[in-house]
Amino acid sequence: MWAILKIDQKKTNLFKKEFKRIVGSDLEIYSPKYQIQNFKKNKLRSKDTKLLGNYIFCFNDNLKNINFLNRIKYFKGFKSYLPGYIETQKEIKEFISNCKKFENKDGYIQNNFFNVDLNCNYRFKSGIFTNKIFEIMKFQKNKIELMIGELRVNVKKKNFLAQPI
């Protein structure tokens, strides 16, 4: 059974280690991530960013039992869990399989995972225009035409990572 747990980012490894010690090797942890590129001091730097922030997916048969969750809440690094995960197993499995479908060979979610709409404002999260605000004008087969202020730019879809504003 999949559960959604909120953990402390700084103590992730402690939490995983303690969790595995209690349940054994029957544990699967999934945390989707993507890569952001920033320019810092005229150098292009890559940074891993977790898609769900502090939340991770954990799979174990013991997670059906509420008493087991009461035991987990004393682990180092554990903050809370999202209630209702028992009723939403189908949606959780669909989301995880969708994330895995859009992962590249390195385990990062590709840019085409994110949906973008016409005539909405976005902010670049990677590339040469990092943190610049733009508006999407039209979609083409492999390109997106967008407007950055008065500048009209064509961007390849595979190199496109943006955040809605």
The DSSP secondary structure of 3-68, one letter per residue, reads EEEEE-GGGHHHHHHHHHHHHTT--EEE--EEEEEEEETTEEEEEEEETTTTEEEEE-GGGG-HHH
Residues in the chain: 165
Instruction: Supply 62's token pair.
Output: 């013991």
Query: Which segments of the chain have a pLDDT < 50?
Result: none
Neighbours of 7 (CB within 10 A): 24
pLDDT value at residue 69 = 80
Q: How confident is the model at residue 96, as a pLDDT?
A: 92
Gap between the Cα atoms of 123 and 158, Å rounded: 16
User: Which pLDDT belongs to residue 57?
Assistant: 92
The pLDDT assigned to 91 comes to 92
